[in-house]
Structure 1
Amino acid sequence: MTEQTRTPRYTLMGLVTLAAVVALVLFLAKPAQSDSAAQPASTAAKPANTLQSLAELDGKPPASRALDIQTWNTAEGAKVLFVEARELPMFDLRLTFAAGSSQDGDSAGVATLTNAMLNEGVAGKDVTAIAQGFEGLGADFGNGAYRDMAVASLRSLSAADKRDPALKLFAEVVGKPTFPEDALARIKNQMYAGFEYQKQNPGKLAGIELFEKLYGSHPYAHPSDGDAKSIKPITLEQLRAFHAKAYAAGNVVIALVGDLSRDEAQAIAAQVSAALPKGPALAKLPQPAEPKPGAYHIDFPSKQTHLMLAQLGIDRADPDYAALNLGNQILGGGSFGTRLMSEVREKRGLTYGVYSVFSPMQVRGPFMINLQTRAELSEGTLKLVQDLLRDYLKSGPTQQELDDAKRELAGSFPLANASNASIVGQLGAIGFYNLPLTYLQDYMQQSQKLTTEQVRDALNKHLAADKMVIVTAGPSVPQKELPPPTDNPTEQPLGVPEH
């Protein structure tokens, strides 16, 4: 879902083991509104893409930021989306490739390794010189690989004396990495350490098992990083071949936001596109087959049990996305006040937190419910969560719940396009998932018009309480009855969840 710019996974400073990401595209879950008519008169005369100061707000909700999205294709076939924003003397550039782990084939982890190696070396520069090159220009490079996509990003000052050398270095890093042999060995060792850590993390083990059971033989089934067995035989030749195929100009979306004219943006896109390998877009992924419902347990010596419930949800272009997202917000997509949090934590004290999420991707991504609870109450808690989902699908949201969710969405909506960094991520997703340029305003308008019946019908169209794939991880211990619901539960959840 569930796609954001981030710093490299594996750098000279060592490994930072990342938690499982199930919402690769969630940055569009509350997209930005571009209804210029809703802007107050005091801002109407300003340029279309403006930033509001706190002083301007004066206690009022922030006005929406109207986005004039321009789009074109480069000579090599790269799709470009651009928003001009002159407030700050800088720009954000984001490349989104269909080069995630779903393209690994028989070598699980090759996409992650390729992405991690981008900034390890170019002609005449090692990883340290590359990092110093960006830093000396006041620029920031970021990269990451997920199931659907791999990204590379640049933030730079827009003045030509800074912009030009930063773009030259960025184009080399993304388009012509040298893949040093010593760097591959180091990164593999860092990944091995991460895999060892996973063995001590029941939540991570449960997540890996869940995706395997949910997706079977589909490319989404394996972890984005692969595992110790799959990455060991991966060679430099495989990385170079994957880069030549998956980092091709025809397989990328270029998003640009910032202090640039249309001509400057076109020149940047042309420069970056020309630096990439030549080649077409990769073939679209097949839709996954429906999994067989069932429950699976991983025995793990811990005080708590992790509970994960999932079924196939929707792809990113599904017309029911707005209804499902708003319906999920009421069920368990927010924090306090959702159905799940109210019944499981607030009334019974069974968990620190319980959450649900739709993670739409290129093809059907998962709908998931995730929580952890005391081991001796795990079976009762699981049944409670299943009953709550079943009741919610049957009744749908109340009018009050829907009104509250719409109000919360309207209040938080402008924040989704309050910065150039957030906008460049949204542009990347719009291009990658082939969404209409009017998607951001369409989403808000659709959400605000939804009725309780429409939300209920959409949820029942895509979800069924008896079709869940369930994975639990924790100790096998005698079970106790759940405490009855109360406004002041005697059993409080642990202050800090296990990880």
Structure 2
Amino acid sequence: MNKRHLLLALALLVLLGLLLLVSRPVAEPDQPAPAAPVTSSAPAAAPKIASLAGINGQALARRHLDIQRWETAEGARVLFVEARELPMFDLRLTFAAGSSQDGATPGLAMLTNAMLNEGIDGRDTTAIAAGFEGLGAQFGNGAYRDMAVASLRSLSAAEQREPALALFAQVVGAPNFPDAALARLKNQILAGLEQQKQNPGKLASIALFQQLYGAHPYAPPSDGTLESVPALDRAQLAAFHARAYAAGNAVIALVGDLSRSEAEAIATQLSASLPKGPALPAPPAPQAPAAARQHIEFPSQQTHLMLAQLGIERRDPDYAALYVGNQILGGGGFGSRLMEEVREKRGLTYGIYSGFTPMQVAGPFMINVQTRAELSEATLELVRALVRDFVAQGPSEEELKQVKRELAGSFPLTTASNADIVGQLAAIGFYDLPSTQLEDFMNQVQQLSVAQVREAMARHLDADAFVVVSSGPTVAQQPLPPPVERPAVQSAGVPEH
């Protein structure tokens, strides 16, 4: 047999093997081979849903959470959900250590949080990152107006869990704030603050919070300012950490492949590793400002419009009604009143959104839209009119039913993963909500009437009380175009972010 014939024979053998392979089911790795075919006497499989209509309005199954709560000897609040599906766990520490605790030094809370993983005794930032990576663990952190967080995801086996927790406890509980890393991060922050001068949306947002909150701790930007950041030093960070990262100021949320005793041991270890101290008081309640208008001149094709007024704190009894009302007004994306009237019927924008941001004390209710500069005033008046009408009339029965269906359908996603659950637990613990908060919220939503939504929106919103900030060029204004079913031309230019 010559070489050509030999190659042809080998090819035929390979082809025959492939045909045999695909003619039978293949077992997955580490799984038993398939059993004999099921006979016709076995029960028939349930038919698959071929259309969403097959759901017939039924609520989707929700994951039941058995939330266990306790407090450590040092005063840290703990929330734990056992979830054995995956051999891992998620941990989140939440502190009342956001920028509302900055005092006269804007940027202090954010910089302290950013420096947590920059150095501990015996390890610099590179060694810390390598330590987590070598264990297959993930570290995360962030700081906001109300809170600062540090998180860990790790395998639950003791050989990975214990060293990952030991490293995490040292990073969060005993950072040493090295001078070289502090100088580097300050330079990065200052560079970012300089870049913000070229971002009209960011400029408008900063001005809006200053107008809305005045001298309140929520007013300054969390990132700090070009004047405050350079003056921050290691001693200030260490003092803030000792005060704000104290065990009594912490909420420990745990979800994953852990027993109650293991979760208790983790919480005890973490609580003992933190500085000793009590919970910090919440900021004072803000005073509602008078309606105001501010314009920031900026050379761009579009104008950013931001409208805001004080909203609610997280524990407000109207939370569910306001959430539903806002979904209909402008929080639900396509199909909301604002999107339908401003984008779909008039083509004034690519997107317009509204939302309540409940916090420890009254957070903002905001509406954000970009539009062509020459139509900014007409757009602003249209938005005011839409809010005024919605507050007066409330939603329609059909709008309310639609949002109830959407929320019932999306609710299971709020607990779809351990990361989702640990985020929910952290919020429940931080805002001191009941363990049944998720179920309570959905029950409240489903029981709401049109009148209840309208009355809640009227209690908290006033179309004539907005603080308004615009950022864009000063140009001659044009009248509002008439509504059409499908706008022929969308707004000019690319949205600026």
Counterpart in the other structure of 2:433: 435
Which of 350, 357, 378 is the matching residue for 1:352?
350
Aligned to 1:479: 477
**Which residue number corresponds to residue 333 of structure 1?**
331
The equivalent of 2:238 in structure 1 is: 240
SS at match of 2:110: helix
Matched, 1:145 2:140: no
Q: Distance in 1 between matches of 2:134 and 2:249?
A: 31
Contact kept? 1:145, 1:151, Cα under 8 Å: yes
Contact 2:60 2:408 survives alignment (8 Å): no
Residue 179 of structure 2 aligns with an amino acid whose one-letter code is E
Which whole-Å CA distance do the structure 1 matches of 2:250 and 2:436 have between them?
A: 21
- Matched residue SS, 2:369: strand
Q: Does the 8 Å CA contact 2:81/2:255 hold for their aligned counterparts?
A: yes
Give the distance between the partners of 2:468 and 2:440, measured in 1 at CA: 35
Give the Cα–Cα distance (whole angstroms) in 2 for the partners of residues 431 and 371 of structure 1.
33
What's 1:21 paired with? none
Which of 157, 169, 172 is the equivalent residue of 1:171? 169
Amino acid at match of 2:87: P
Shift of 1:492: 1.2
1:78 equivalent to 2:81? Answer no
Residue 102 of structure 1, aligned match among 74, 81, 100? 100
Q: Which residue of 1 aligns with 2:396?
A: 398
Task: Name the residue aligned to 2:4.
Answer: none
Cα shift readout 1:369-410 (whole Å, capped 9, x = no counterpart):
000000000000000000010011110000000000100000
Which structure would you say has the larger Rg? 2
RMSD: 1.3
Cα distance change, pair 56–243 in 1 and its aligned pair in 2 (3 A): farther
1:316, 1:433 within 8 Å by CA — same for their partners in 2?
yes
Give the gaps of 5 or more residues in structure 2.
Answer: 1-46
Per the alignment, residue 370 of structure 2 pairs with: 372
2 CA distance for matches of 1:386 and 1:463? 11
Asked if the contact 1:323–1:450 (Cα under 8 Å) also holds between the matched residues in 2, the reply is yes
Equivalent residue letter for 1:478: A
Which letter maps to 2:335? G
Summarize deviations over 1:350-384 as a string: whole Å, max 9, x none: 00100000000000000000000000000000000
- CA change 1:212–1:57 in 2 (3 A) is farther
Name the residue aligned to 2:189: 191
State the shift of 1:56 in Å: 10
The answer for the alignment partner of 1:293 in structure 2 is: 291
Query: How many angstroms does 1:482 deviate by?
Result: 1.7
Give the distance between the partners of 2:120 and 2:49, measured in 1 at CA: 47
* Aligned match for 1:456, one of 454, 457, 461: 454
**Counterpart of 1:166 in structure 2: which amino acid?**
A
User: Does the 8 Å contact 1:350/1:491 carry over to 2?
Assistant: no
Structure 2 letter corresponding to 1:481: P
1:274 partner letter: A
Q: Which has the higher contact order (CA 8 A, sep 6+)?
A: 1
Bigger mean CA offset, 206-215 vs 477-486: 477-486
Give the letter aligned to residue 285 of structure 1: P
Aligned residue type for 1:470: V
SS at match of 2:198: coil
- How many angstroms does 1:62 deviate by? 4.2
Instruction: For 1:494 and 1:136, locate their aligned partners in 2 and report how far apart those are by CA, in whole Å.
Output: 50
Task: State the alpha-carbon separation in 2 of the partners of residues 395 and 120 from structure 1.
Answer: 54
What secondary structure sits across from 2:290 in the alignment?
coil
Counterpart code for 1:139: A
TM-superposed deviation, 1:333 = 0.2
* Residues 352 and 494 in structure 1, CA contact (< 8 A), matched pair in contact too: no
The residue type paired with residue 95 of structure 2 is: F
Give the Å deviation of 1:490.
Answer: 2.6
d(CA) in 2 for partners of 1:56, 1:430: 37
Q: Secondary structure at the match of 1:457?
A: helix
Aligned equivalents of 1:284 and 1:153: distance in 2?
A: 23
Q: Amino acid of the residue matched to residue 354 of structure 1?
A: I
In structure 1, runs of 5+ residues without a counterpart are: 1-54
Superposed counterparts of 1:10-159, under 5 Å: 62-159=60-157
Find the aligned partners of 1:492 and 1:434 in 2 and give their Cα distance: 45
Partner of 2:20: none
How many Å apart are 1:494 and its aligned residue? 4.3
After superposition, what is the alpha-carbon deviation per residue over 1:67-90, rounded to whole angstroms, capped at 9, x for unaligned? 000000001000000000000000
* Kept after mapping to 1: 8 A contact 2:210/2:219: yes
1:491 Cα offset (Å): 2.7
Query: 1:496: Cα distance to partner?
Result: 3.7
Give CA deviations for 1:463-485 in whole Å, capped at 9, x if unaligned: 11111000000000001112110
- Which whole-Å deviations, capped at 9, do the CAs of 1:65-120 have from their partners, x for residues lacking one? 00000000001000000000000000000000000000000000000000000000
Aligned to 2:253: 255
Cα deviation per residue 1:177-196 (whole Å; 9 max; x = unaligned)?
A: 01000000000000011011
TM-superposed CA distance for 1:217, in Å, is 0.4
Q: What is the DSSP-based 3-state SS (H/G/I as helix, E as strand, rest coil) of the residue aligned with 1:425?
A: helix
Is structure 2 residue 410 aligned with structure 1 residue 412? yes
2:309 counterpart SS class: strand
Superposed displacement of residue 285, structure 1 = 1.3
Q: Secondary structure at the match of 2:427?
A: helix
Is the contact between residue 304 and residue 369 of structure 2 (CA under 8 Å) also seen in structure 1?
yes
One-letter code aligned to 1:177: P
* Percent pairwise identity: 69
Does the CA-based 8 Å contact 2:208-2:467 persist in structure 1? yes
Counterpart position of 1:12: none
Instruction: Answer yes or no: is the 8 Å Cα contact 2:301–2:493 preserved in 1.
Output: no
Residue aligned with 1:355, SS: strand
Compared with structure 1, are the counterparts of its residues 412 and 495 closer, same or farther at alpha carbon in structure 2 (3 Å cutoff)?
farther
| TM-score of the superposed pair, with normalisation by structure 1 | 0.88
Of 306, 316, 320, which residue of structure 1 is paired with 2:314?
A: 316
Residues 352, 495 of structure 1: 8 Å contact kept:
no
Q: Structure 2-normalised TM-score?
A: 0.88
Mapped to 2, the partners of 1:326 and 1:171 lie a distance apart of 40
Provide the C-alpha distance between the structure 1 equivalents of 2:371 and 2:285, rounded to a whole number of angstroms: 34
Q: Does 1:493 align with 2:491?
A: yes
Which runs of at least 4 in structure 1 moved beyond 4 Å after TM superposition?
55-62
User: What CA distance in whole angstroms lies between the structure 2 residues aligned with 1:154 and 1:493?
Assistant: 43
CA distance in 2, matches of 1:376, 1:324: 33
Q: Which amino acid is the alignment partner of residue 465 of structure 1?
A: A
1:210 corresponds to which residue?
208
